[in-house]
Structure 1
Amino acid sequence: MAATTDTSGPGTAVPRARLLLKEVAWRHQAGEMRPEDLPMAAAEALAAGMDDPALTELAGMPRNADPRDIRDAFEQALSDVGITPPDRGQAQRYALRALAERFVAGQAPLAELASADWWETQVESAEERAFVALIPPCTCCLAYTLGLDEQEWETRLRSAALALAARPAVGPGS
């Protein structure tokens, strides 16, 4: 989960927990969080100060519970606390920008870039299009797909990632 580091004092626990839960909703909708990870995320939101019966029920579910039951409990908990999950397209754009930020920071290896179906993301900006256009379907197809040597590709990709990361954020905290 993304770090929520605002610990400025009384009254900030529930807003931090709410932001944490929104982040989970966005990541789950983007396909970055598996259903079996949602009970732990619910437990973290409870520990951060959120109090809701459906969230408590979700936090108590085992990782090996039926994924449909976990998703239903998660959706109920979000509804109870007034969080509306984003549509899948917005969530994927959020995940794409987060990937660009991790790549720029040296935290996303090249294999991670080519391991998802980013080409299916409904991009809306020129920066998103430029970044997605440079992501091959797999790392072994780099030269075939792009016709570039790996050094040149990585340079172009870094430039596109920097441009995307500089755009205003889309997501739970924006």
Structure 2
Amino acid sequence: MRAAGTAPEPEPSTRSGLASLGEAACRYQADEIPPEDLPMVAAEALAAGLDTPTLCELAGLPRNADARDIRDAFEQALSEAGVELPDRGLARRHALRRLAARLIHGEIAAADLTMDDWWETETETVEERSFVSLIPQCGCCMEYTLGLDQRTWTAELRTAALALTSSPPVGPGC
């Protein structure tokens, strides 16, 4: 029984929708979800039991709708659902942790890390700095940047990725 004056607990499916929408917000801020995928994110949140007017509107937008309209609708839907859009820096730090996990699980190759601007990520922990310091700015100058052979670099990068994924998460979860 709930105390007088408190809001009822959301249903489990609604909590699931809120959690997935919160993760999508974090991934959106980290540039991991392109705008054209946001209508499907909205549809999945609706299917999970979350329902707001703008979420319904967003779910009905085509993938080729204007990216600004999609972004605006997504941010409005987050607001209506009570989901905060995380700080971009924190979102990138959580994305860095997901990237390290993907590397460990063999979902991406070490050389693929040079395809994005991970070296620009603002880090705060030793584990984040160790991982980021091993990511060169571009793939064409890896040997020059790293001063290591490819095999040694890959081993050091995996070790740093393991340390990062094993360290306590920072800030609110995404």
TM superposition shift of 1:139: 2.5
TM superposition shift of 1:171: 6.7
Q: Structure 1 residues 135-144 or 80-89, which shifts more?
A: 135-144
Contact 2:92 2:121 in 1 (8 A): yes
Say whether 1:66 aligns with 2:66: yes
Q: Structure 1 residues 161-170 or 142-151, which shifts more?
A: 161-170
Cα distance in 1 between the residues matched to 2:19 and 2:37? 17
Contact 1:119 1:132 in 2 (8 A): yes
Q: Structure 1 residues 110-119 or 125-134, which shifts more?
A: 110-119
**What TM-score, normalized to structure 1?**
0.90
Gaps of 5+ in 1: 1-9
Number of matched residues?
Answer: 165
**Which structure would you say has the larger Rg?**
2
| 1:5 corresponding residue in structure 2 | none
| 2:11 corresponding residue in structure 1 | 11
| 2:96 corresponding residue in structure 1 | 96
Contact 1:19 1:173 in 2 (8 A): no
SS in 2 for 1:165: helix
Contact 1:22 1:172 in 2 (8 A): no
Name the amino acid aligned to 1:123: T
Say whether 1:139 aligns with 2:139: yes
**What TM-score, normalized to structure 2?**
0.90
Gaps of 5+ in 2: 1-9
TM superposition shift of 1:107: 1.0
TM superposition shift of 1:77: 0.2
Name the amino acid aligned to 1:22: G
Cα distance in 2 between the residues matched to 1:173 and 1:15? 15
SS in 2 for 1:114: helix
Cα distance in 1 between the residues matched to 2:11 and 2:80? 20
| 2:5 corresponding residue in structure 1 | none
Matches within 5 A, 1:6-155: 11-155=11-155
Name the amino acid aligned to 2:54: A
Distance 1:170 1:41, change over 3 A: farther
Q: Structure 1 residues 158-167 or 138-147, which shifts more?
A: 138-147
Cα distance in 2 between the residues matched to 1:62 and 1:172? 32
Cα distance in 2 between the residues matched to 1:37 and 1:44? 11
Cα distance in 1 between the residues matched to 2:60 and 2:96? 31
